[in-house]
Amino acid sequence: MSAEELIEDFSFLETWEERFRLIVEMGRELEPMDPADKVDANRMLGCQSRVWITCRPTDENPPRLHFVGDSDAQIVKGLIAVVFEVYNDQTPQTILDTDIRALFAELGLANHLTPSRANGLNSMVERIRAFAAE
């Protein structure tokens, strides 16, 4: 699903309860994370819930970055899925050039997340951008 498709899907939902259900459902569809990857080195700081993200570059030239993530909180797992919809399997330059915060604004996430979840979401974005900058 592209960012445009995500915006379109959200636009059909009338209430934030429906949108949060979609986010949770997206989280349930995330690629499973190997339990061996749930180590401190992959754990996100700045998130109230426990969140892990791994990055594996492909062998392509230029490489694409493949992310796998998980959380112990359903809504946060869904937010990981939203971020991955935009960033997963993109080139590092595409990731660095993408203004995902504009997507968050268009989806209305900034207005409907608790401050701690919004901080965690920003931490995820910064971590992914750091992977791309490497």
Instruction: Write down the CATH number for the domain with range 3-133.
Output: 3.90.1010.10
Predicted local confidence at residue 7, as pLDDT: 85
3-state secondary structure of 132: helix
Residue where the block lists tokens 């970055």 = 65
Predicted local confidence at residue 1, as pLDDT: 66
Sketch the domain layout of the chain as residue ranges: 3-133
List C-alpha distances in Å: 28 to 47, 51, 59, 75, 90.
19, 15, 28, 10, 22
The answer to whether residues 46 and 120 touch, using CB atoms and an 8 Å cutoff, is yes
Any idea which residues carry the catalytic annotation? 47
Q: What is the pLDDT of residues 95-132, one digit of tens each?
A: 999 988 888 888 877 788 888 888 888 889 999 999 99
What pTM, to 2 d.p., does this model score? Answer: 0.89
Rg of the Cα trace of the chain?
14
Query: What angle separates helix 115-133 from helix 74-87, to the nearest 10 degrees?
Result: 30
Q: How many CB atoms lie within 10 A of CB 1?
A: 13
Segments of the chain scoring below 70 in pLDDT: 1, 46
